[in-house]
Amino acid sequence: MPDAALVWSPDLTQYNFGPGHPMSPARLNLTHALAEELGLTSPDAVRVIEPVTVTEDDLLAVHSQDYVEAVLRAQETGTHAHRMGLGLEDNPVFDQIHTASARIVGSTLAAARAVWSGESRRAFSPAGGMHHAMPSAASGFCVYNDLALAIRDLRSQGAGRVVYVDLDAHHGDGVERVFWDDPDVLTISVHEHPTTLFPGTGYPQDVGGPGARGSAVNVALPAGTGDAQWLRAVEAVVSPLVEAFAPDVVVSQHGCDSHAHDPLTGLSLSVDAQRRAAMVVAELADRHAQGRWVAAGGGGYEIFNVVPRAWCHVLAIVEGRPVPLQTPTPPDWQAQVAAIDDMPVASTMSDVGRLGTREVTETFRPFAEGYDPADAVDRAIIATRRAVFPDHGLDPLP
């Protein structure tokens, strides 16, 4: 019996803002197709489970009644509520906006419950990761905050302390907001600097409310940051904090819009580095959270070559059998991508050849071995460590 779960239902692709919107449901279909072709959905690899049903009451654990009612009204009558982000360019109103958004919540809740009940040690909700959704507003393509609701659910079921790791190129502002004053939920977001990217928040000095100092952590990296430096930041900040915080469960968001080919952001990663970061999270959960790990998807707008490969790597790591980087992409999947887009299809599960970058393992240097104050990424790392490490009894300097 596999000890990993994947939450999947074709209905999850009904979360669809319409033609031309960057968050195309094709990214989920192409991810699922690649996972199938790679054998990652077979019964010996993973338990595939359905999203749980989510009621309006369930949503009130994070969202305001006014907001949930506005989303319902939008679904029933097409009414916009611009004050609440509904009907703005980023978050157009669509037919099933309430039902489809609640189903995404059900996906990540199913993952969280599978892990907390002990049925699965690890679980992945690729359709989840809606980290910008605010208690009373839709924002940045996100309607309901599945991550915050899953963390609340874990807490109500008995998880004392939860670490949330957000690897998306954008700041995980919605999740941070919900737990800003909660010292038992540590939110860590590693993102492109707020001066160059939506939502314009997530500075290292933003560390949580007065009773929860150090429970919000922000690493703001310069546009253009590549594999080795990004991984250096992840390890230098996330690893010591997770160890010091000693959570009961780790929840992570694997938005892959940090990729060099993503059309919306300025970070410059490969899927190789994104895969490496997922391995770091898995190892941290194993060492410091009894293996309990709930992973979710997130942003990612190069939907043909990037999202499917990035998230299949996450799934394989959740399953405890990472896909080797040199694995060829299956011909049937390549044909499926070629049929909807004319860009060259990735021939392997690695980007080293495609991006002209070197192997992450060759370029990575740990922060612990010393840092360079002249380097912008190292300065960002130090700023974050200075802001929060003392609150956790840690030394900001390596």
Identify the residue among 168, 173, 235, 262 touching Zn ion (CB under 5 A).
Answer: 168
**And the tokens for 81?**
């509520």
**Residue numbers annotated as active site:** 132
Which of residues 85, 106, 129, 255 is near Zn ion by CB under 5 A? Answer: 255
Nearer to Zn ion, 263 or 353 (CB): 263
Q: Which is nearer to Zn ion, 170 or 275 (CB)?
A: 170
- Calculate the CA 183 to chain-centre distance: 21
Closer by beta carbon to Zn ion, 58 or else 302: 302
In angstroms, the CA 225 to CA 167 distance is 13
Q: Which residues contact 54 (CB under 8 A, 6 or more apart)?
A: 102, 103, 105, 106, 109, 149
Q: Which stretch binds Zn ion (CB under 5 A): 88-96, 166-174, 216-224, 334-342?
A: 166-174
- By beta-carbon proximity to Zn ion, the closer residue of 264 and 345 is 264
Q: Could you say whether residue 262 binds Zn ion (CB under 5 A)?
A: no
Angle at 132 between CA 379 and CA 251, to 5 degrees: 75
Interacting span for Zn ion (CB under 5 A) from 164-172, 217-225, 272-280, 345-353 = 164-172
2 binding Zn ion? (CB under 5 A): no
Could you tell me which stretch among 36-44, 107-115, 255-263, 336-344 binds Zn ion (CB under 5 A)?
255-263
Q: 31: which 2 tokens?
A: 């991810």
With contacts defined by CB under 5 A, name the span among 61-69, 82-90, 297-305, 339-347 that binds Zn ion: 297-305
- What single string gives the DSSP state of each residue in 259-276? BTT-SS---BB-HHHHHH
Residue 170 touches Zn ion, criterion: CB under 5 A:
yes
**Which residue number, 168 or 378, has a Cβ lying nearer to Zn ion?**
168
Q: For the CB of residue 194, give the shortest distance to Zn ion in the complex, in Å.
A: 13
CB atoms within 10 A of CB 124: 34
Query: Least Å distance between CB 58 and Zn ion?
Result: 25
- Partners of 200 in the beta sheet? none
> Interacting stretch for Zn ion, rule CB under 5 A, among 1-9, 84-92, 144-152, 254-262?
254-262
**H helix or E strand, kind and range, residue 253:** strand 249-253
Instruction: Single out the segment in contact with Zn ion by CB under 5 A; choices: 110-118, 161-169, 217-225, 237-245.
Output: 161-169
The count of other CB atoms within 10 Å of the CB of residue 96 is 14
Q: In this complex, which beta carbon is closest to Zn ion, that of residue 129 or of residue 322?
A: 129
| 6-27 exposure pattern, b = at least 16 Cβ within 10 A, e = fewer | bbbbebbbbbbbeeebbbbbbb
Is 229 or 258 the residue whose CB approaches Zn ion more closely? 258
Q: How far is the CB of 257 from Zn ion (least distance, A)?
A: 4
* Tokens (6 digits) for 330: 């299956």
Evaluate the omega torsion of the peptide bond into residue 199 and state whether it is cis, within 30 degrees of 0.
yes
Residue 257 contacts Zn ion per CB under 5 A: yes
Question: Given its phi and psi angles, is residue 217 left (phi above 0), alpha (psi -120 to 50 degrees) or beta?
Answer: beta
Rounded to 5, what percent of the chain is helix, strand, coil? 40, 15, 45
Question: Site residues for Zn ion, window 14-53 (CB under 5 A)?
Answer: none
Tokens found for residue 270: 């490969």
> Phi first, then psi: what are they for 347, rounded to 5°?
-95, -15
Q: Are strands 249-253 and 162-166 parallel, antiparallel or unpaired?
A: parallel
Query: Which is nearer to Zn ion, 75 or 189 (by Cβ)?
Result: 189
Point out the residue whose Cβ comes nearest to Zn ion: 299
Ranges within 349-368 binding Zn ion (CB under 5 A): none
The number of residues that bind Zn ion (CB under 5 A) is 5
CB of 324 to Zn ion, least distance (A): 27
Structure tokens that stand for 295 in this block: 């992973």
* CB 171 to Zn ion: min, Å: 9
Beta carbon of residue 50, minimum distance to Zn ion (angstroms, whole number): 26
Residue 154 tokens read as 């874990």
The owner of tokens 């898995």 is 282
**Pick from 92, 129, 194, 299: which binds Zn ion (CB under 5 A)?**
299
Report yes or no: 5 and 46 within 8 Å, Cβ to Cβ. Answer: yes
Contact set with Zn ion (CB under 5 A): 168, 170, 255, 257, 299
